[in-house]
Amino acid sequence: MRPLIIAANWKMNTTPADAGELAATIAARTEEPGVIRVICPPFVCLAAVRDALKGRDVAVGAQNVHHEQAGAYTGEISAAMLNGLATWVILGHSERRRDAGETDELIGKKLARAVASGLRPIMCVGELLAERESGRAVEVVAAQLKGALAGKDHEELLRAGFVIAYEPVWAIGTGKTASSADAADMADAIRKTLADDLGWGKAAASVPVLYGGSVTSANIAEFLGEPSIDGGLVGGASLKPDEMAGMVARAALVARTRAGAEGRR
């Protein structure tokens, strides 16, 4: 059974002075069995969040990593620098693609570096509004997957705990969301691309797919009601303990339901 995951992407919010307290509050409010919780603060807040979460079953993730081990890359963060600070990393977020010009090829290099360094990757894919309206959403996402994953050893990625987040770009920070049916169809298309186009075969079914477009406690039940969706990559709502508590509680309920169904098979 695939795990249920709620990953908080704090983006460029919080400071070292307040991040630890927020992380501790969220951890205390979200103690539910059967749900993997991850908090991804800004780089400068990683140490504060790590320290605040000691003794709690909440992982810390970075929001990005450089594809090289070291070198003359001003302002960048290497995987080695994250050692002891984070165990997860978000890769290829649409804001990185838009603002930093990240390509599928570059994201693939970052993925390889993350896996080699022991970081658990959440790789983001998703289409623009014009691409969905023109009927090319699946084509675009499939191309992103093939561009980043070509030549990768899928068994190595699976051992690393590879996760994909589907984030329709037009639904990020806009208050709009894809329908749960659309998100589920895309999750199925993602696994089909892995299985058929990238040669993963049956192993593709084990890859968790999260939904990441303006997820809140009010709409997460709709998405988690789809068997192909395994959690959320949460943006703005992840800064609010009440919101995180509601989302993790719903994910825990879904985890129990799925575990029961699995046990009856």
State yes or no: pLDDT of 195 exceeds 80: yes
Nearest 5°: CA angle at 185, between 102 and 235? 50
Q: Which long-range contacts (CB under 8 A, 24 or more apart) does 54-57 make?
A: 56/24, 56/27, 56/28, 57/31
**How far separated are the first and last CA of the chain, in Å rounded?**
12
Distance separating alpha carbons of residues 15 and 209, to the nearest angstrom: 30
Average pLDDT over residues 113-129: 97
Nearest to 96 by CA among 86, 88, 106: 106
Distance separating alpha carbons of residues 194 and 145, to the nearest angstrom: 8
Distance separating alpha carbons of residues 75 and 233, to the nearest angstrom: 25
Average pLDDT over residues 134-150: 97
Nearest to 123 by CA among 145, 151, 138, 139: 145
Average pLDDT over residues 55-61: 98
Per-residue confidence (pLDDT) for residue 252, from 0 to 100? 98
Per-residue confidence (pLDDT) for residue 171, from 0 to 100? 85
Per-residue confidence (pLDDT) for residue 265, from 0 to 100? 72
Predicted structure pTM score: 0.96
Distance separating alpha carbons of residues 126 and 213, to the nearest angstrom: 10
Nearest to 167 by CA among 226, 243, 93: 93
State yes or no: pLDDT of 175 exceeds 80: no
Percentage of residues in the chain having pLDDT higher than 90:
92
In whole angstroms, how far apart are CA 95 and each of 91, 103, 169? 10, 12, 9
Average pLDDT over residues 30-55: 98
Give the tens place of pLDDT for each residue, 222-256: 999 999 999 999 999 999 999 999 999 999 999 99
Per-residue confidence (pLDDT) for residue 176, from 0 to 100? 76
Q: What is the DSSP string of 2-13?
A: PPEEEEEE--S-
**In 117-153, which residue ranges form alpha helices assigned H by DSSP?**
129-133, 137-149
Domain count along the chain: 1
Hey, what are 99's tokens?
């603002």
Per-residue confidence (pLDDT) for residue 261, from 0 to 100? 84
Distance separating alpha carbons of residues 133 and 239, to the nearest angstrom: 31
Check if 222 is active-site.
Answer: no
CATH number at residue 184: 3.20.20.70
Check if 154 is active-site.
Answer: no
Query: Which of these is catalytic: 95, 127, 131, 167?
Result: 167
Model confidence at 173, in pLDDT bands (50, 70, 90)?
Answer: confident
Residue-range definition of the domain harbouring residue 234: 4-264
Query: Which of these is catalytic: 93, 127, 226, 243?
Result: 93
Buried b (16+ CB within 10 A) or exposed e, 143-166: bbbebbbeebebeebeebbbbbbb
Per-residue confidence (pLDDT) for residue 55, from 0 to 100? 96
